[in-house]
Amino acid sequence: MTANLIDGKEIAKTTRSRIKEDVEQLIEQGTIPSLTVILIGDDPASHSYVKGKERACEQAGITSVVKRHPESFTEAELVEEIRTLNEDSSVHGILVQLPLPKHIDETVVLDEISPHKDVDGFHPENVGQLLSGGEGFVPCTPLGIIEMLKLTGIEIEGKHAVIVGRSNLVGKPVGQLLLNENATVTYCHSKTKDLYKHTLDADILIAAVGRPQMIGVEGIKPGACVIDVGVNRVDGKLIGDVQFDETKEIAGWITPVPGGVGPMTITMLLHNTVLAAKRLGRCNDRS
């Protein structure tokens, strides 16, 4: 059997044209959705991701502003900048590109972003909303994964979802979303013993580790849906966390890298920015 490919690029394209219509409607009503990205330091990968975000905003009609700062930018300066953006009613979404330089405390910074503008969904208030089933912002990569599964028609309810990776950015929130969709969820991580014992039972396997091709075909249940979140640059090429060529022969569904989860992450950033603009617009109407 050869797996069906989940074409993230194509799904992202369709979803982005829907978002663009929403943006046009908002603009007619007098609101131009706007995202500000803060980027510190000169990590080439971060600069390249941010470029991708800028391009996607432009195509969707969303205003994007990138504040680029040198590695020496201080935590106090960053907090001050975030406070100014929180107060600025023309800014709907704020994103601080991670990772931050070592001298800046990520928790301090992420807590400072207004939860109403936190389009990454990293603020504790939004994390709490995700746990309690509230209406906060959901992190983009996990949201993109669920959207892909739904639009592809893959059933989640009652399925065993196994997640390899438990980061705040991807692993934990994607598990919570799958649980909210009535999957049975297992988390694996670096201390997990006998990893494949767990992954071999996965109907839906989410690989979010950041180690090139660490999950081999021997860890895949035939017919499973395999979502590869890993983006690893090896010899100038992008490689996922799953051994794609072998796995695609036995899996039911698989996402490629590149062209899988990545384009959906950016699409959900656009989605969250539009959502923030709609919600903040409503607040301003009331005041």
Ligand X SMILES: NC(=O)C1=CN([C@@H]2O[C@H](COP(=O)(O)OP(=O)(O)OC[C@H]3O[C@@H](n4cnc5c(N)ncnc54)[C@H](OP(=O)(O)O)[C@@H]3O)[C@@H](O)[C@H]2O)C=CC1
Active-site amino acid positions: 53, 97, 120
Tell whether residue 115 is a contact of ligand GUE (CB under 6 A).
no
Considering only residues 230, 247, 255, 276, which one is a binding residue for ligand X as defined by CB under 6 A?
230
Residue 210 interacts, among ligand X, ligand GUE, none and using kind-specific CB cut-offs from 5 to 8 Å, with ligand X
Q: How far apart are CA 37 and CA 55, in angstroms?
A: 13
Is residue 66 marked as binding? no
Query: Could you report how far apart the first and last alpha carbons of the chain are, in Å?
Result: 59
Closest CA to 277 of 125, 16, 269, 124: 269
144 carries a ligand binding annotation? no
Among 115, 121, 171, 173, binds ligand X (CB under 6 A): 171
Q: Does 163 bind ligand X (CB under 6 A)?
A: no
SS (H, E, C) 210-265: CCCCCECHHHCCCCCEEEECCCEEECCEEECCECHHHHCCCCCEECCCCCCHHHHH
> According to the annotation, is 121 in a ligand binding site?
no
Helices 171-180, 140-152: axis angle to 10 degrees equals: 40
H-assigned helices in the chain: 8-28, 44-60, 75-87, 106-112, 124-132, 140-152, 171-180, 195-199, 244-247, 261-286
Tell me: does residue 59 bind ligand GUE (CB under 6 A): no
Place of tokens 């649980």: 179
175 is in an annotated binding site: no
Residue 259 contact, options ligand GUE, ligand X, none, Cβ 5-8 Å cut-off depending on partner type? ligand GUE
**Between 186 and 225, how does the x/- string for binding to ligand X read (CB under 6 A)?**
--xxxxx--x------------xxxx--------------
Residue of 263, 275, 277, 280 that binds ligand GUE (CB under 6 A): 263
Other beta carbons within 10 Å of 252: 18
Tokens 């590109």 map to which residue? 97
Q: Minimal distance in Å, beta carbon 46 to ligand X? A: 11
Q: Does 95 bind ligand GUE (CB under 6 A)?
A: yes
258 lies in the binding site for ligand GUE (CB under 6 A): yes
24 CB neighbour count, 10 Å cutoff: 12
Work out what residue 263 binds among ligand X, ligand GUE, none; the CB cut-off runs from 5 to 8 Å by kind.
ligand GUE
Using CB distances below 5 to 8 A depending on partner kind, what does residue 240 bind out of ligand X, ligand GUE, none? none
Residues annotated in a binding site: 165-167, 231
User: Under the rule (CB under 6 A), what is the footprint of ligand X?
Assistant: 141, 164-167, 169-171, 188-192, 195, 208-211, 229-232, 261-262, 265
Residues annotated in a binding site for NADP(+): 165-167, 231
